[in-house]
Each structure stands twice: as C-alpha cells, then as structure tokens.
Structure 1
Amino acid sequence: MTGEMIQTKAKEFLQKMYGDANSKFNFSIDWLERFKARHGIKSYRRFGESGLVVMENIEDASPQIRAKLEYFDWKDIYNIDQTGLFYRL
C-alpha cells in the first residue's frame, strides 16, 4: 500500500463522513507521515532476491516442495542464504 493510496482513502472517508464541509482539508506529505507514526505504519522496500520473486511461480512449486520436505524431520529443515553463510569471511 502506498502513501498515495492512504491519502486517497482518507479523502474518501472525509467526504463520506462530512460531505463537502471540509473539502479544503489538505492530506499533505506531513499529514501522511504523522498518520503513519501515530498508527505505527512503516515502509519496507524489497531488495535483491525477495524483490525478484514471482508469486505465481511460488504457488505452482509449493506442493512439490512440500512433498520433498515430508521426507525430513522438522529439526533438519532450515533456510540459509549467502549472507548468513559468508558474513564473517
């Protein structure tokens, strides 16, 4: 969800609740930042491998992966990537 989407929804709610009485209210960037801080909303960007994931491929491959994992105990299944493996080298 983008900041622009939050501002648009806020304008729609203001219109529904109060009509045109508060049509001059400005949902500025400062308003958005204070709103996000007040409600604990944070922004995250996906970089690297996580940004390249195609969800349709995950949905298609998920049953096959689960079938392969059934042969292992839960204690033997873990996830590791290059950062975790090489961070001290």
Structure 2
Amino acid sequence: MRSKLFEERLKTAQTSTERWVRVLPDKGEGYLLYDAMEGRPIGRILVDANDHWIYDGITLSVDEQEDVAGFITGHHKEMDELIRRL
C-alpha cells in the first residue's frame, strides 16, 4: 500500500538517532532507502496493504527502522507512545 505522503517521489526522513534517510518508492510495494549524508543504499522497507512493514537490510537499528516505517506509513512512534500513555 502506498502512503499518502508519497506521490512517487523522493522524500527525506530523520530518525531519532539524527540519521537522515532518503526514501524513494520503488516499482513494487517497497521503498528504497539511502543514507542522505553518504549517498549509499542502506536497504528497503517493504509495506503491505495493512501497513505491516519489514526492513530488508542490515544498517538501520530497530528504532531507526521504526522511525522510517512510521514516516512511510504515517504512523509515527511518538504518537503511538503518547496514545499508550493516555
């Protein structure tokens, strides 16, 4: 499922660890990820119709994966944590 944030163009996300990640929708159901500072590929995020995602790569930590997946799907970790606390 494609996020409403994306219209088939490049976006940049910032993770909680201050890493800048370029996110580019690919031709399938995923997103290619590039380190914005180093310009190298760092994996892919695959997303299904129910916004379930999986990281295909080895560079990002679990928290960074969640940050990027939240950016793509529109479900940000901070909002989820706030709702849990309420």
Which category of TM-score, normalised to the shorter sequence, fits these structures? under 0.3
**Bigger strand share:** 2
Higher-Rg structure is 1
Greater RCO between the two (CA within 8 Å, min separation 6)? 2
**TM score, norm. by length of structure 1:** 0.20
**Bigger helix share:** 1
